[in-house]
C-alpha cells in the first residue's frame, strides 16, 4: 500500500536518493528543504517540494497542514565535522533546536514515526571494532554531540508521547545513483571519494592524506563505506520496523578500507593516478571506524547490494564525469526555461 512521507532534507545527497527510492516504490513524497546545501534539481519531479527552513515554525506548520503523513525522515542537520569544531555553539544550538521543532510538529499533527539520520561520530575513538549499537557514546566533535542530543530528544518523545523513531548511525555514505541521475554535490566537499576522484580528474589540487603513521596496516585511517542506495534501503526498512517500536541501528559494511586503498582503487578505476600529498593527522580522527550492522541485518534482513568499494567508486565516477559542475548546469537550465 502506498504511503505518504515527508522527507526533510530531500534535496541533499542522501535525501535526494531516498526521495527517488520512495517514489520508485509507489509512495507519495513531500520534500521540505531550505536548499542551503541541497539542490532543487536533485528532487525527483514527482515529489511535492516545499521550500522552507526548520528554524521557521510557520513553514513547518504549513507543510503539515491538510496532509496526513505516515512518517517523517529527518536528514537536514548541519553536518561538517571541522566546521562544528570552529563553531561548536552553532551546531549544539541549531541541530537540536531544529529537530525539536520538527518533533513538535510531528506530535501536533499526529505523525507516529520518524527516521533520523544520525552518525558514527557519536562513538568517537571507540575501543571496539566493529562498533555495535551498545558501544559507549563519546562524540568526537560538536557535530556528533549535537546528533546525540537529538537522539536523546527522540528517546523522550517516545517515552512521553509514544513517537516511534529510528536513529540510523551511518558510517561513511558514498557512491551515487546507479542510473547516473543523482550524485554527491557538496560545497565544500569534505568526503574522501569525491575528493580523490576530482584530484584524479585534475579538477582540484593533490589530495591531502591526513596521517600516514597510524597503527593500521598501511599507516592510513580505515573507514567503512556504504553505498547510498543501500542506505536508502536501510531507511525504508527502518520506517517499516518502527511501526512496532523505536530502534537504533548502526549502518556499515563491517569492513574497513584504508585511505591508501581508496586512492589506489580510484586511480585504477579512473585510469588516472590520484596525486597526493602527506599531511599531519587531524585532531579527533579515529584510526579505525568500522560498524557492526548485525542488528539491522538480523532484525530487518538488510541486504546491501551495492557497497563494494569498486561499485561505490564506479557510480561516483560516472556522476562526476557526467556532471562536472554538480547540479549547477541543470539548475541554470531550469531557471532559464522557467
Ligand X SMILES: NC(=O)c1ccc[n+]([C@@H]2O[C@H](COP(=O)([O-])OP(=O)(O)OC[C@H]3O[C@@H](n4cnc5c(N)ncnc54)[C@H](O)[C@@H]3O)[C@@H](O)[C@H]2O)c1
Closest CB to ligand X among residues 30, 76:
76
Report the site for ligand X in 3-42 (rule: CB under 6 A).
9, 11-15, 33-38
Compute the least distance from the CB of residue 12 to ligand X, in Å: 2
Task: Enumerate residues 6+ apart whose C-beta is below 8 A from 223.
Answer: 171, 172, 192, 256, 257, 259, 289, 290
41, 47, 54, 253: which one binds ligand X (CB under 6 A): 54
Catalytic residue (choose from 116, 143, 225, 306): 143
Q: Is 170 in the site for ligand X (CB under 6 A)?
A: yes
Q: List Cα–Cα distances, 107 to 51, 72, 97, 114, in angstroms.
A: 21, 11, 15, 11
60, 72, 79, 238: which one binds ligand X (CB under 6 A): 79
Closest CB to ligand X among residues 171, 214:
171
Closest CB to ligand X among residues 3, 34:
34
Q: Is 119 in the site for ligand X (CB under 6 A)?
A: yes
Spatial contact of 154 and 113, defined as CB atoms under 8 Å apart: no
55, 62, 279, 305: which one binds ligand X (CB under 6 A): 55
Closest CB to ligand X among residues 104, 272:
104
Q: Is 224 in the site for ligand X (CB under 6 A)?
A: no
Report the site for ligand X in 270-309 (rule: CB under 6 A).
none
Please name which of 273, 265, 269, 275 lies closest in space to residue 204, comparing C-alpha atoms: 275
Q: Is 85 in the site for ligand X (CB under 6 A)?
A: no
Q: Is 151 in the site for ligand X (CB under 6 A)?
A: no
Q: Is 77 in the site for ligand X (CB under 6 A)?
A: yes
Q: Is 190 in the site for ligand X (CB under 6 A)?
A: no
Closest CB to ligand X among residues 146, 258:
146
Can 143 be counted among the known catalytic residues? yes
User: Which residues are known catalytic residues?
Assistant: 143
Applying CB under 6 A, the residues found at the interface with ligand X are: 9, 11-15, 33-38, 53-55, 75-77, 79, 98, 117, 119, 170, 172-173, 186
Amino acid at each position: 500500500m502506498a504511503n505518504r512521507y515527508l522527507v526533510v532534507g530531500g534535496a541533499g545527497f542522501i535525501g535526494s536518493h531516498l526521495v527517488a527510492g520512495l517514489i520508485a516504490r509507489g509512495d507519495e513524497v513531500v520534500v521540505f528543504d531550505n536548499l542551503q546545501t541541497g539542490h532543487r534539481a536533485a528532487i525527483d519531479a514527482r515529489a511535492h517540494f516545499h521550500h522552507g527552513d526548520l528554524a521557521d515554525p510557520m513553514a513547518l506548520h504549513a507543510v503539515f497542514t491538510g496532509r496526513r503523513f505516515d512518517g517523517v525522515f529527518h536528514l537536514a542537520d548541519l553536518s561538517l565535522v571541522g566546521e562544528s569544531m570552529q563553531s561548536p555553539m552553532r551546531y549544539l544550538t541549531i541541530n537540536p533546536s531544529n529537530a525539536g521543532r520538527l518533533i513538535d510538529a510531528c506530535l501536533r499533527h499526529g505523525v507516529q514515526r520518524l527516521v533520523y539520520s544520525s552518525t558514527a561520530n557519536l562513538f568517537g575513538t571507540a575501543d571496539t571494532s566493529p562498533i555495535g549499537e551498545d558501544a559507549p557514546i563519546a562524540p568526537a566533535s560538536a557535530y556528533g554531540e549535537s546528533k546525540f542530543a537529538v537522539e536523546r530528544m527522540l528517546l523522550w518523545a517516545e517515552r512521553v508521547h509514544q513517537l516511534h523513531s529510528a536513529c540510523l548511525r551511518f558510517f561513511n555514505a558514498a557512491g551515487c545513483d546507479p542510473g547516473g541521475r543523482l550524485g554527491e554535490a557538496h560545497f565544500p566537499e569534505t568526503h574522501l571519494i569525491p575528493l580523490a576522484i576530482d584530484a584524479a580528474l585534475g579538477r582540484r589540487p593533490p589530495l591531502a592524506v591526513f596521517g600516514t603513521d597510524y597503527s593500521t596496516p598501511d599507516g592510513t585511517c580505515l573507514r567503512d563505506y556504504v553505498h547510498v542506495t543501500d542506505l536508502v534501503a536501510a531507511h525504508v526498512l527502518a520506517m517499516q520496523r518502527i511501526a512496532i517500536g523505536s530502534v537504533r541501528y548502526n549502518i556499515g559494511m563491517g569492513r574497513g578500507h584504508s585511505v591508501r586503498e581508496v586512492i589506489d582503487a580510484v586511480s585504477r578505476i579512473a585510469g588516472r593516478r590520484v596525486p597526493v600529498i602527506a599531511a599531519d593527522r587531524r585532531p579527533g580522527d579515529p584510526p579505525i571506524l568500522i560498524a557492526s550492522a548485525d542488528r539491522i541485518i538480523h532484525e530487518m534482513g538488510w541486504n546491501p547490494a551495492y557497497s563494494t568499494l569498486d561499485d561505490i567508486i564506479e557510480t561516483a565516477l560516472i556522476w562526476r564525469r557526467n556532471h562536472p559542475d554538480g547540479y549547477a548546469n541543470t539548475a541554470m537550465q531550469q531557471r532559464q526555461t522557467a
